[in-house]
Structure 1
Amino acid sequence: MLKLGIIGTNWITDQFINEIKDDGRWELASVYSRTAEKAAAYQVKFGFKESFSDINQFFEEGLFDAVYIASPNSMHYQYARQAISNDKHVIVEKPAFTNVDEFAQIEGLLQAHPDVRLLEAARHVHTPLFKAVQAKLTEMDKIQGATLTYMKYSSRYDKVLAGEKPNVFTLDFAGGALYDLGVYPVYAAVALFGEPESVVYFPTLIETGVDGKGIAILGYEDFEVTLNFGKTTNSHMPSEIYGLKDTIVLDNIADFSKASYFDDQQVEHALAVEAADNPMKYEIDVFTQILEDPTNETQIKNYQKWFLMSKQVNGLLFTLRESAGIEFPADNQ
C-alpha cells in the first residue's frame, strides 16, 4: 500500500484526499503545514498518522512514499526538489513549475534519482470524456482549429478590488490567470493537437501586476487554436473544435460533463461516457498504477508520456508568458 504525504491544506487537497481514501490503495501517512496547529487539525480531520510544521523534518522523517504538493505555485520547485532528494515520489498540482529553468533542474535531479517519479495533476485530460473527444478527433476528416474557454470569477478577486494582494493574484507567488485556469486549456490543446509552432498571449493586467484574464493564440501548421481564460469574470461559452462541416462541442474545457459531436448534417451525437462524482478519480488511478509498479514496462511508458506532456506544457506556459512580457521573481533566481 502506498503511503501519502500532503503539503497544502486547502479545498483542492480535501478533494484529492477524499478520492485517495475511496481508492483503497493508499494510506494517509503525513501532513505538513507551516503552523503546527493547522497541521495537527488536518491530521485529525482526515486521520493522518503524523503531522509536521518543519518542512525539513517532514521530508527527512515522514513515513510517506509519495507527496502531493498543493502549495502556492512559486513553492512547487522547492518542495519537489526536497522530495526527490529524499527519494519520495511527487504528485504536484498544476502548473508544476514556474519556468523552464526550474523544470530542467528537476529533470536533472530525477536522472540522479531514477526510481523517483514526478507527476503533474491535470485532472481533465485523464477523464473518459476527454479520451472520447480525442478518439472522435481522429475520425474527423479535417481540423480547422478550436476555441477553448475557461473563465471563472475568483472570490479572491474581491480582495484585489478591496486593495489587498492575495497570493493567487501576485507575481511573487507566480499567480494570475495563465498560471491557474489557463493551464487547463493549454493542457487540453497539447493533449489534443500536440505542441504548436508559434504562440502569443494577450493578457489583461490587473492592479497587482498579474494577468486577470487573457487570450492566447497557438499556431499549428494548418490551423490556429484560441484559448480564452480568466479569473476576473465568468464565461458561459462552450469550447469547440472545428472540422469542415462537423464540430465537437464541450460545455467546459476544465470541468466538462458533456461533449457532443455535430456531424455534417448538424445532427448532434452525445459522447456518452461515465463521469465520477470526484473529478480527480481518473488521474489518481493513472498515478497509482504508475507508482505501484514503476518498473512495469507499460507503466514506464505511461509515465514517460505524462512527464513529456508536463514538460511541453511547462515550456508553452513560459513562452506565452514571455510573449506578454510577464516576469516572475523566480525567473531571475
Structure 2
Amino acid sequence: MIRFGIIGTNWITESFLQAAREVDGFALTAVYSRTEERAREFADKHGAAHAYTDVEEMASGGRIDAVYIASPNSFHAAHALACMKHGVHVLCEKPIASNAAELRRMIEAARERGVVLMEAMKSTLLPNFGAVRDHLPELGKVRRYVAGYCQYSSRYDAYKQGTVLNAFNPIFSNGALMDLGVYCIYPLVVLFGKPERIRANAILLDSGVDGEGSLLLGYPDMDAVIHYSKIADSSLPSEIQGERGTMTIAKISQMESVRIRYRDGSVADLTREQAANTMVYEINEFIRLIRRGDAESSVNSHAHSLWTMEVADEARRQIGLVYPADAAQS
C-alpha cells in the first residue's frame, strides 16, 4: 500500500478520494488543513489516522509515502518542495505551479531526492486521449488544433456582487487561463510539442485576473487556436483538423467522446469506455510510477508540464497578468 497524505480539504479533494477508493494500493493516512478543527474533521470523515496543520511535520513524520496537493495554486510549489525534501512523492493538482520558474525548482528537487513529481492533469491519462493519440495518423497531415473550455463560474456571480473569491483572486495565481485554459494547452503539447510562436488576448477583470481569453499558437506546418472562459459558456467540441479528416473531441477536460469525420463523409466513432470518476487514471498512473521506481510519467512528464507553464507564462506576459508569486522568482 502507498500511504498518502492530503493537502487541501475542498471539493476536488473529495472527488479525488472518491476515485481513490477504486484504486488498488491507495491508503489515506494523513490530512493537512490550515486549521486543526478542519484537518481533524476531514481526517475522521475519510478514515485518516493523522491530522496536521503543518506541512513540514506531516512530510517529515515517516507516516506518508506520497502526497496529493490540492491547495490554492500559489501554494503548490512551496507545499511540493516541503514534501519532496523529506522523500515524499508528489501528485500535484493542475496547474502544477504559478509559473515556470517555480516548476523548474520543483523538477530539480524531485530529481535530487529521487521522488516522483507528477501533475494531476487527468485528461491526458484518459482512455479517450489514448484513442486520440492512437488514431491521429489517420487524419493525414495535421493543419490545425482547436480547443476550448468555456464554463461560466458560479463564483462570478459573487464577484459581480463585490465578493472576490479565490477563483478570481491573483494572490492565489488564479483566473481563466490557469483554471481552464491549461486543459487545452496540455493535450496540445503532449501531441505536438511546444509551439514556436504565441499570441495571446484576454479580458482582464478589475481584480487583476483574466475572465476569458484566447491563444493563437504557431508550429512549422500547423497552428493551434485555444479559447477559454470563466465568464461565458460554450458547447462547441474541440477539433484536430487534418488533410484526410477531422477529429472531434467532446469536452476537452473529460474527453467524453472521440470521432473522426473523413473527407468522404464517413464517420468513425473511436470513443472508449471510461470510469465514471475520471480521476482514477491519474491515481493509477502515479502509484504505478512509484511501484516501478520510475522518475516521471511519459505522458504527464516534467517536460510537458514545463512547456504548458511556459506557454501560460508568455500568454500572461502579453496580456499583462501578473501574480504576486512571479515577483518571488525575479
Do they superpose with TM above 0.5?
A: yes
Where in structure 2 are the equivalents of 1:38-117 lying within 5 Å? 38-61=38-61, 63-113=63-113, 115-117=114-116
- Structure 1 runs of 4+ aligned residues shifted over 4 Å read none
After superposition, where does 1:112-127 map in structure 2 within 5 Å?
112-113=112-113, 115-127=114-126
- CA change 1:13–1:62 in 2 (3 A) is farther
What is the match of residue 319 of structure 1?
Answer: 314
Segments of structure 2 that go 5 or more residues without pairing to the other structure are none
Q: Which residue of 2 aligns with 1:13?
A: 13
Show the 5 A alignment for 1:1-333: 1-61=1-61, 63-113=63-113, 115-294=114-293, 299-300=294-295, 302=297, 306-333=301-328
User: Could you report, residue by residue, the CA deviation over 1:228-266 in whole angstroms, capped at 9, with x for unpaired residues?
Assistant: 111111111111111125110111111231111001112
Distance 1:9 1:118 in 2: 21
How far has the Cα of 1:127 moved from its partner?
0.7
Shift of 1:185: 0.1
Equivalents in 2 of 1:46, 1:188: separation in Å? 32
Partner of 1:144: helix, strand, or coil?
strand
Do the aligned partners of 1:246 and 1:266 also contact (CA within 8 Å) in 2? no
Provide the rounded CA distance (Å) in 1 between the counterparts of 2:62 and 2:38.
Answer: 17
Answer whether contact 1:200 1:324 (CA < 8 A) is retained: no
Matched residue of 2:286: which SS?
Answer: helix
Moved more, 238-247 or 103-112: 103-112
Identity of aligned residues (%): 34
Q: Greater shift after overlay, 234-243 or 134-143? A: 134-143
Per the alignment, in what secondary structure is the counterpart of residue 67 of structure 2?
strand
Work out the CA distance in 1 between the residues paired with 2:215 and 2:132. Answer: 22
- Report the RMSD for the aligned CA atoms in angstroms: 1.5
SS of match in other structure, 2:185: helix
Kindly tell me: are residues 170 and 121 of structure 1, through their superposed partners in 2, closer, same or farther at Cα, counting changes over 3 Å? same
**Aligned-pair distance for 1:45?**
1.2
Between Structure 1 and Structure 2, how many residues are aligned? 328
Cα offset, 1:111, TM superposition: 3.2
Return closer, same or farther for 1:103/1:249 CA change in 2, 3 Å cut-off: same
Contact 1:72/1:168, CA 8 A, preserved across alignment: no
Does the 8 A contact of 2:34 with 2:53 survive in 1? yes
In the alignment, is the contact (CA less than 8 A) between 1:8 and 1:33 conserved in 2? yes
1:6–1:31 contact (8 Å) kept in structure 2 = yes
Gaps of 5+ in 1: none
Check conservation: 2:116, 2:296, Cα contact below 8 A: no
Q: Is the 8 A contact 2:30 2:49 kept in 1?
A: yes
Structure 1 window deviating more from structure 2 (304-313 vs 9-18): it is: 304-313
Q: CA deviation at 1:303?
A: 5.2
What is the alpha-carbon distance in structure 2 between the residues aligned to residue 224 and residue 24 of structure 1?
A: 41
Give the letter aligned to residue 126 of structure 1.
L
* Distance (whole Å) between structure 2 residues aligned to residue 143 and residue 249 of structure 1: 13
CA contact (8 A) 2:296 2:302 kept: no
1:160·1:207 contact (CA, 8 Å) conserved in 2?
no
For the 8 Å contact 2:202–2:212, the answer to whether it is kept is: yes
SS at 1:147 equivalent? strand
Letter of the 1:19 partner, please give it: A
For residues 230 and 309 of structure 2, the distance between their equivalents in structure 1, rounded to whole angstroms, comes to 20
1:30-57 CA-to-partner distances (Å, cap 9, x unmatched) read 0000011111111111111111123332
Matched-pair contact (CA < 8 Å) for 1:119–1:306: yes
AA in 2 matched with 1:84: M
What secondary structure sits across from 1:180 in the alignment? helix
Structure-2 separation of matches of 1:317 and 1:49: 39
Contact residue 141 and residue 244 of structure 2 kept, 8 A: no
Work out the CA distance in 2 between the residues paired with 1:143 and 1:304: 20
